[in-house]
Amino acid sequence: MRTSMPVGPIGTALVLVVALAGAASGDLITNAGAIPNPFSPNGDGVFDETVVYYTLALEADVKLTVRNADLDSLDVLSIETEEPGQHSHAWDGTVDGSVPPDGDYYVRIEADPLGGPPETVDVPCTIDTQPPVIADLVIAPSRFSPDGDGVGDSLLVSFVLEEVEVADHTTVDVTNLDDELVASLLDETGVETVEVYWNGIDAIGEAAGDTLYVVDILARDAAGNATEDGALVDLDTSPPLLRAYIDPSEGAFVDTTSVITVAGRVYDRAGVVEMEISTNGETWEPLAFSDPDSLPIFRVRWEATVSCTTCAATGADETMTVRVRGRDGSPTASGQGYVNTETTSNPILTFDVVFDVEGPVHDQTVIADDDAIYRPGDTITIDTAWDEEGYGLTANFDDVDSQYDPANLDTTDYGTGAYRLRYTISSGSTIVTADEELVITVTDRFGRPAEADPVTVTVVPVSGTPSDLRVSENAFNPLAGTDDDVTITVGSDAGGIKVEIYNVAGSLVRKLDSEGEPSVTWNGENDGGEIVASGVYFLRIRTNVDDVIRKVAVVK
């Protein structure tokens, strides 16, 4: 039963109603009241009991009884002798173990002091276990688009509170799906009719994102009884979300034929009502994706066939840029919903279609070393260029290395169709050959092979160490001065020295020529006159007698 007794506002504070009986007045019982009042002994943990309090001026025998509105005795709460001062007793709202009907009740305080007249005070207590009633609730539209076009720009929340009391507290909040507050639309007491709007702006004044939200209505009365209601709503200002079924490693639809089937999926909470495809960036064609009788569809798969117009005639590869867009069923001023563009939050879907009808096309292959004469232990470096990146490279060095080991083959893809191949001849190889042709083979993603133009190399034997070869240092500091430089010396029959200095990556850093003299010195500089970095370097020492490799360490 809803009562009409006026009470003050509630929140986290309790309601205090103090009523003193007029039937008996005196100074024995003062400051009598009950808190909270009204209360709701319904077991929900909010205001389930009330506390009756009072102050005694003298020691007295005190009896507390529960009485109905006619002051008929219903139950005894307490009988005991109490000292002067403040006292309190809790009433759990039951009479003989049961909760009586909602309504007005009293707790009678009867005090009989020693040596003084008795006194009686009746404290009113109201039981209210019925929550507020939310009626005629409207939350519309369930999907709205606050984009300022005058259609569906705001969300209406309206309802009526029946038998409202002045202390009834009502809130209307918007939360996200993680139950976090987004916007507060109402926070008032005593309202009977509510009509509020949400324009999609959050609590800090920024536009809320496109997603689902919860409108949460909470009405609570002075006794702590609460009623909740609400609905799930959709804020939608975005066109459909588009995806294509493309291998992430490719980034495009790729095939060896001149006709390719492209496919993907599309999703929109407002429903997908139309899709279009463009293969030239100018004209758009309808893209069939579902039965029109079943619209709107929220998640669909699309598929289309695109053809290469020049592949059959020329036999050449072609790359085509394809664009896909959709339209949803959101309310807009145009009545056309939201359509994907280049600048919308979900933009036009753009992807490439590669008609790879031709196998690998060779450009050129060259020996990258100064000459093509090698000895066991030397590294052969070959640069080769093709029409595309991503090819696999192989080569067979059986004819130049009697101990051919594929593990000694290293390939580098520079990402532009340029490749480098490096192979180190085994130091124990016994093959000697002149103008041997080496052929590099590449394979594309479809397993189609192609051979490069051959390059020729010559392998000569290692005949021994140049006469009286000496390297003055195996480690030196080029910053320490000329006394710490590396000097390479050979016998007078060697006919001079030519030295090539390589770093551990195989890059040439310096060339030295003794010009017929039996010795030459390296000061640690590269061909640009700069001191090289610390590390191990290889000295390729060539004379008219032989060609050998020595190591030296630069330590700074």
**What pLDDT was estimated at residue 16?**
33
Does the pLDDT value for residue 6 go beyond 90?
no
Q: At a CB cut-off of 8 Å and minimum separation 6, what does 335 contact?
A: none
pLDDT digits (tens, 9 = 90+) for 468-508: 788 988 899 998 877 789 999 988 777 789 999 998 878 89
Q: At a CB cut-off of 8 Å and minimum separation 6, what does 527 contact?
A: 509, 510, 511
The number of residues making up the chain comes to 556
Does the pLDDT value for residue 1 go beyond 60?
no
User: Minimum mean pLDDT among 154-163, 243-252, 287-296, 358-367: which range?
Assistant: 287-296
Tell me the average pLDDT across 374-398. 92
Does the pLDDT value for residue 251 go beyond 90?
no
User: Minimum mean pLDDT among 270-284, 399-413, 430-444: which range?
Assistant: 430-444
Whole-number Å distance between alpha carbons of 264 and 275: 12
Q: Measured in Å, how far apart are the chain's first and last C-alpha atoms?
A: 95
User: Minimum mean pLDDT among 294-303, 369-378, 526-535: which range?
Assistant: 294-303
Q: Which of 448, 472, 556 is nearest to 522 (CA)?
A: 472
Compute the CA torsion angle 25, 27, 28, 31 (nearest 10 deg). Answer: 90
Is 458:400 a contact under the CB 8 Å cutoff?
A: no
Percent of the chain scored above 70 by pLDDT?
92
| Domains of the chain and CATH, by start | 29-127 (2.60.40.4070), 133-235 (2.60.40.2550), 241-355 (2.60.40.650), 362-459 (2.60.40.10), 470-554 (2.60.40.3080)
The model's confidence at residue 459, banded by pLDDT at 50, 70 and 90, is confident
The model's confidence at residue 293, banded by pLDDT at 50, 70 and 90, is low
Tell me the average pLDDT across 233-258. 90
Q: Which of 336, 323, 345 is nearest to 264 (CA)?
A: 323
Q: Write out the two tokens for 95.
A: 């009479």
Chain Cα centroid distance, residue 89: 57
User: Over the Cα atoms of the chain, what is R_g?
Assistant: 47
- Is beta strand 259-278 parallel, antiparallel or unpaired with respect to 297-307? antiparallel
**What pLDDT was estimated at residue 22?**
33
pLDDT digits (tens, 9 = 90+) for 10-41: 333 333 333 333 333 468 999 999 999 999 99
**What pLDDT was estimated at residue 12?**
30
Tell me the average pLDDT across 149-153. 91
Is 395:438 a contact under the CB 8 Å cutoff?
A: yes
Percent of the chain scored above 90 by pLDDT?
67
pTM over 0.85: no
Q: What is the pLDDT of the chain when averaged over all its residues?
A: 88
